[in-house]
Structure 1
Amino acid sequence: MLVALAVALGAAFVVAPRTLAASGSGGGFADERELREALGEAFVEYWASGARDFSPGLESVVDYWFRYHVAKAVIAAILLVVLVALGVLLWKAFLRAGGPEVGKRAVLATAGVLVTMCALFSLVLVMANFQGAAAPFSSLLPLLTGGGAEGELADTLDQIRQRLAESLSAGGQTPPPLEVMIGDFARYHVAMAVIAGTVAAVFIGVSVVMWKRFAGTGSGRTRRLLGSFGVLSVVLLLAVIVVVVANTTTAADPGPALLAFFEGGW
């Protein structure tokens, strides 16, 4: 049942978010190309307006992107719970498998590793999509620069790069739309710092539990498994701490990172 549910949720993660996001008041988009075109037109209009508030077209795209990320985050979170439950069952079955059942243990161990890796990938999806939901405007920006901008959009991006560079180097006046971009870009990285910090706290708890049980367990399969998960939790904790530090640093001074992004360095 858990395997079937995991497969169904994996398919839903790919297919369902676009439909769910389109159910909002602003409607949706047939494909990524249509979304890029709508975003490009709305973004050019927003920059030309010189106002802080989003234009109606851009607000519609941002609202759609928010709903899209919320749907993906929720589905990925449910999938993560299912995969964790399935992994626990598999590893328990692996530990219960008797001495002569070598083939069965190998199958259970392989399945356990595969499910564990899938669970970690689902965790990354949860983190990324909650970040996207927290700052949907910034998470849309890669759609503007990817694939090569042309026409008015290319001119707009050139103007943004120029004004942002002037603001950082000479302390020039920052247009209101650019202030919004910088603020939302900072929020985007603050969100990931908070999310990663929460995940780091979970990994600390898991690591403590694993190593305590490792210390209290004699030699054998259980001890080796606890040691393996203890090492994995420490490695993952270190990786998440790097993410926290990197995003906190960027959030504290988002301007240079945003300029690097628009120049293709992020």
Structure 2
Amino acid sequence: MVENRPWLNVLTHCVLVLGVIIVALPVYLAFIASTHGPTEFLQGIVPLLPGPHLLENYGEVLTQGMTTSGAPPLLNMLANSTLMALIIVVGKISISIISAYAIVYFRFPLRTLAFWVIFITLMLPVEVRIIPTFKVVADLGMLNSYAGLTIPLIASATATFLFRQFFLTVPDELMEAARVDGAGPLKFFRDILLPLSRTNIAALSVILFIYGWIQYLWPLLVTTDPKYYTIVMGIKRMATVADSDPKWNLVMAAVVLAMIPPVFVVIAMQRLFVKGLVETEK
């Protein structure tokens, strides 16, 4: 029998509130900094209340960027990051779910070996194979292009593994019933497996969107044209200014704007995301 201990509930809530404060305080300070002028934070004093320059700062970074650091307008970088993240999400999930379907439901020689070869690539992230990957992308003429930004990041052993594990839990009776009804492999995949995989796809979509959104090293290597800069690259350029002090109010405005799309995706898909992570019975 579970004992009712009010003091334990109070302690638990205090710990949770403290954790929220620790996580939210840097975000709050970034927002406050984005509403002040360029000189307040250079004086060594951190204001705790919003300033009068909110619309001015956000309008400047969205439409003008920072010419002193070579950062283009933020709208263009936000669009590039969004497009890059969406292509990575669609590409990774499409390739992974088809690969897992083939490995689980088709009988072909060395299929187990094929799965383990895919799985072993988890030990070879982009940072490890970055030089040969860059060489291939450069030889194919994909520098300064959306294809160069996204195609090398599309393959995902993690997603393939998760879909494979889920497909192994699907009862064989479903496949037999579909076969009796005259459904072929594609119809079985489209009408049965895809609807059953909805929560898994949603959970992976959130994770992969954030993965694509925060990419920095790879876009830094394959893009030299400001037209293809991503938001993370832009923030770095805004914070690194030669022979002058960074305009921290504009940098913090860019940081706050960069947080909005991932937060929106997480909130919008929160129910499916949690369900896809904790659900065990399909």
* Common topology (TM > 0.5): no
TM-score, length-scaled by structure 2: 0.34
TM-score, length-scaled by structure 1: 0.36
Higher relative contact order (CA 8 A, sep 6+): 2
- The structure with the largest helix share of the pair is 1
